[in-house]
Amino acid sequence: MAKKILRCTVNGRQIELAVAPNQTLVQVLRDELNLTGTKVGCDMGTCGCCTVHINGKAKLSCLTLALECQGAQITTIEGLNQYELHPLQKAFAEKGGSQCGFCTPGFIMKSAALLAENPAPSREEIAAGLSGNLCRCTGYVKIYDAVEQAAQEMQRAEAPAPAPART
């Protein structure tokens, strides 16, 4: 089937690309744009490995046709923080939230969306929030630890600097 032009923004960059109507977003990201951080696990919506942000919302790039993203703002793991590690990336590394690493980009993108909505989630809210992402290595405990640590760090960074002590 004839290709069509897709115009959208990926990680802050304007993209203009001819894509086939049946190409999914993850195929375009990985095969056309070389953004291979986003993984394909089950390719049917159950594992969460392909999670990216589309207009700020966590969505599955394996169940999104690329052409549905006309005009959209897309963020992948590569664009989460372009200059230094995002607090979530740092916390996943420090807490051992990543072992084989295949599910990690999906978990981090999902966690970032969770923290944007709920900056101080409880342990239960983290578990419920991440329930659409599967990990076969960690047993999840270290992933929840990492999200908790990142949430705390991000809140500290957000908090206004303490007023200078008066003498």
Partner 1 sequence: MGYDYIRPASLEQALSLAAQGESALIAGGTDLLVALHKKKRPAPGRLISIRSLPELAGIRDEGARLRIGAAVPLADLLAHPAQARLPALAKALGVMGSRQIRNVATLGGTLCNASPGADAAPPLLALGAGVELAGPAGRRTLDLAEFFRGPGRTALQPGEIMTAVLVPWPGAGTQSHFLRRSRVAMDIATVSLAACFGLTNNRLSGVRLAAGAVAPVPLRLRATETFLEGKALTDETLAEAAKLARADVAPISDLRGTAWYRRELVGVFLARALRAGNGGKP
Ligand X SMILES: Cc1cc2nc3c(=O)[nH]c(=O)nc-3n(C[C@H](O)[C@H](O)[C@H](O)COP(=O)(O)OP(=O)(O)OC[C@H]3O[C@@H](n4cnc5c(N)ncnc54)[C@H](O)[C@@H]3O)c2cc1C
Q: Find the binder of ligand X among 46, 73, 81, 152 (CB under 6 A).
A: 46
Given the rule CB under 8 A, which residues bind partner 1?
1-2, 4, 20-22, 24, 43-46, 48, 51, 57-60, 63-65, 67-68, 70, 110, 113, 129, 131-133
Residue 9 engages ligand X in binding (rule: CB under 6 A): no
Residue 21 engages ligand X in binding (rule: CB under 6 A): no
Q: Which residue is nearest to ligand X (CB)?
A: 45
Residue 45 engages ligand X in binding (rule: CB under 6 A): yes
| Smallest separation (angstroms) from partner 1 to the CB of 25 | 11
| Smallest separation (angstroms) from ligand X to the CB of 41 | 11
Contact of residue 96 among partner 1, ligand X, none (CB under 5-8 Å per partner type): none
For the window 101-140, what string marks contact with ligand X as x by the rule CB under 6 A?
Answer: ----------------------------------------
38's CB contacts (< 8 A; 6+ apart) are: 26, 29, 30, 49, 50, 51, 52, 61, 76, 77, 105, 106
* Alpha carbons 86 and 112: distance in angstroms, whole number: 9
Look up residue 32 and give its DSSP letter: I
**Positive or negative, the Cα torsion across 10, 16, 18, 22?**
positive
Helix H or strand E encompassing 53 = strand 51-54
Give helix then strand counts, H and E, for the chain: 5, 5
* Alpha carbons 136 and 123: distance in angstroms, whole number: 20
| Site residues for ligand X per CB under 6 A | 45-46
